[in-house]
Structure 1
Amino acid sequence: MNSTQVNAAADRKLKNHTSFGQAVRNSLTMAYRGVLKIRRTPEQLFDVTLQPIIFTLMFTYIFGGAISGDVLSYLPVIIPGILVQTVITTSIVTGVQLREDMDKGVFDRFKSLPIARIAPLAGALLADTIRYTIATVLTFGMGYIMGYRPEGGLGYVALAALLVILCSWSISWIFAFFGVIARTASSVQGISMIVLFPLTFLSNAFVPVDTMPNWLQWFVNINPISHLVSAVRELTNNGTAGWDLGISLIGAAVIVAVFAPITVRAYMRRT
């Protein structure tokens, strides 16, 4: 074994034995890198800035009169639905950008640095919470401009926002796994949309469940997106925390418990 191979082996051994504190610091540094990427290429935020505005206006004025009789009556129904749909959809970007960075060799360069191997993956997931926050604030802001006044109060609105951000972060682990194992960024986006599209639209986000065919209602009622939307509605509109909140938190925990280990394992094999 030559000196180059010995040094490379030593570097890998050092990275595999980094302390937890160093891994956290390295991950925060990588998260800051993600923030800088957003600042330097603001077009990355088009989906979280334009989509909440366009979807809120479009769905409210198209369905408001037909479902609730008027726009103001429909806002307490649609704003939580648009919020969940927008932020959850935004989590797809995590896997797409991860695959793009791996294809460009960015992660290969990270391997030559004295940092924890998990840091680039963890940093990317942390940085994307900023995207979720922007989408959440814009959705609530657009709803307020249109006349939405949550009866639950500001505290419960903030709690609902944290719930959606937390659940979106947990779901991003699924798309991060797709990003690690897929061959191209376009395939990551395609697979993710196939998974997410029916979940978001076959839910109670836009229309009442009882208006749907009986054979479809059973799926909508067990759909985790429906539970998250119901939890957000209860918090913002009523100021209450029901069993849907508990189901959403348990679901988020289960997703992280299942997908975080397999994503990290697949990531370690690839890097």
Structure 2
Amino acid sequence: MTTSTRAESPVAQAEAIASVLTSSSRPRRPNALQTSTIFGWRALLKIKHVPEQLFDVTVFPVMMTLLFTYLFGGAIAGSVTDYIAYIAPGVLVQSVLFITMYTGSTLRTDIDRGVFDRFRSLPIWRPSPLVGMLLGDAVRFLVASLLTAAVCLAIGWRPEGGVLGVAAGIGLLLIFAFSLGWIWTFLSLILRTPGAIMGVAGFTLMPLLFGSNIFVDPATMPGWLQAWVEVNPVSDLVTAVRAFMNGTEVGVEALASLGWSAALVLVFGSLTMWRYRDPR
């Protein structure tokens, strides 16, 4: 009898476990928004363990704002007070777009550690890890935007567009920065080191940021440089952000910036997912 009880014990245990598992319904599979939000929260939690990641969204925007405002203010407009209304929206755009390139280096580090191999095997919406990472970075960009705006206000900037105008300008900037991040995400899947990604990103951003209307009116530039400024998507973005914040009429530049954003997501988002599915 003892032998029979011991033999039946594993069977009874298996039946008990099966009854527990089948007594409740299977949890509903999370949707794309839920999984993307979770990965976005993961990106923010990394700051808790590595607070140095906040350096680029705190010290860097302040340094850029003070440097360019006091460097060019007296030479271009005669005083910082007269120049700040023009430079503030532009330096806000420059600060945020510059720090977007850290997206690619961070992703490359995660890939090298093997964590994305695990993410690919999960039964979730496939782009969730990438979209979530970019959403987490959008929060960092928001912090940089608010900090830069606060520094400009302390210097003497008084935006005629008010709070709503500043909020609209920052919103448009965050949309463009999110879209631009897909370029660096794609680079992180084809380049082998974070240093290589930073190098290519910096080389790409330099003509986009400095060959624009961030610092001076393009009317003072030579003809060939004016032609570049006119087709530069950053110029459209700066013009739209400046119009929102300074309370002037918003032209087609805002729609052009949204169009550029959609095109970046469509092209580089597709290339990123193609490479993400087949990393070989």
Pairwise same-fold verdict (TM > 0.5): yes
The partner residue of 2:228 within 219, 232, 240 is: 219
What is the SS of the residue equivalent to 1:242? coil
Q: Which amino acid aligns with 1:233?
A: R
Q: Which amino acid aligns with 1:182?
A: L
Q: Which amino acid aligns with 2:103?
A: T
Partner residue in 1 for 2:115: 106
8 Å Cα contact 1:203/1:225 also seen in 2: yes
The partner residue of 1:168 within 147, 165, 177 is: 177
Partner residue in 1 for 2:191: 182
Residues 44-102 of structure 1: per-residue CA shift (max 9 Å, x gap): 11111011111111111111011111101100111111111111111111111111100
8 Å Cα contact 2:189/2:275 also seen in 1: yes
Residues 164-214 of structure 1: per-residue CA shift (max 9 Å, x gap): 011000110111111111111111111111111111011110111122222
Partner residue in 1 for 2:202: 193
Partner residue in 1 for 2:65: 56
8 Å Cα contact 2:176/2:258 also seen in 1: yes
Q: CA deviation at 1:116?
A: 3.6
Structure 2 CA distance for partners of 1:59 and 1:112, relative to 1, 3 Å:
same
Partner residue in 1 for 2:84: 75
What is the SS of the residue equivalent to 2:212? coil
Q: Which amino acid aligns with 2:211?
A: L
- Please list every run of 5 or more consecutive structure 1 residues that lacks an aligned counterpart in the other structure: 1-18
User: Partners in 1 of 2:123 and 2:260 — Cα distance?
Assistant: 36
User: Partners in 1 of 2:60 and 2:82 — Cα distance?
Assistant: 22
Q: CA deviation at 1:253?
A: 1.0
Partner residue in 1 for 2:132: 123
Match status 1:133 vs 2:145: no
User: Partners in 2 of 1:248 and 1:226 — Cα distance?
Assistant: 9
Higher mean alpha-carbon deviation, 34-43 vs 145-154, is at 34-43
Q: CA deviation at 1:117?
A: 3.3
User: Partners in 2 of 1:99 and 1:23 — Cα distance?
Assistant: 23
User: Partners in 1 of 2:93 and 2:251 — Cα distance?
Assistant: 17
Residues 207-242 of structure 1: per-residue CA shift (max 9 Å, x gap): 111222222111112111111111111111124321
User: Partners in 2 of 1:55 and 1:95 — Cα distance?
Assistant: 22
Flag the structure with larger Rg.
2
User: Partners in 2 of 1:20 and 1:215 — Cα distance?
Assistant: 55
User: Partners in 2 of 1:39 and 1:268 — Cα distance?
Assistant: 30
User: Partners in 2 of 1:77 and 1:231 — Cα distance?
Assistant: 12
Q: Which amino acid aligns with 2:232?
A: N
Q: CA deviation at 1:263?
A: 0.8
Partner residue in 2 for 1:33: 42
User: Partners in 2 of 1:95 and 1:102 — Cα distance?
Assistant: 11
Higher mean alpha-carbon deviation, 110-119 vs 38-47, is at 110-119
Q: CA deviation at 1:112?
A: 4.7
User: Partners in 2 of 1:207 and 1:230 — Cα distance?
Assistant: 12
Normalising by structure 2, report the TM-score.
Answer: 0.86
Normalising by structure 1, report the TM-score.
Answer: 0.89
Q: Which amino acid aligns with 2:233?
A: P
Q: Which amino acid aligns with 1:53?
A: V
Hey, which bits of structure 1, 4+ residues long, moved more than 4 A? none
Partner residue in 2 for 1:96: 105
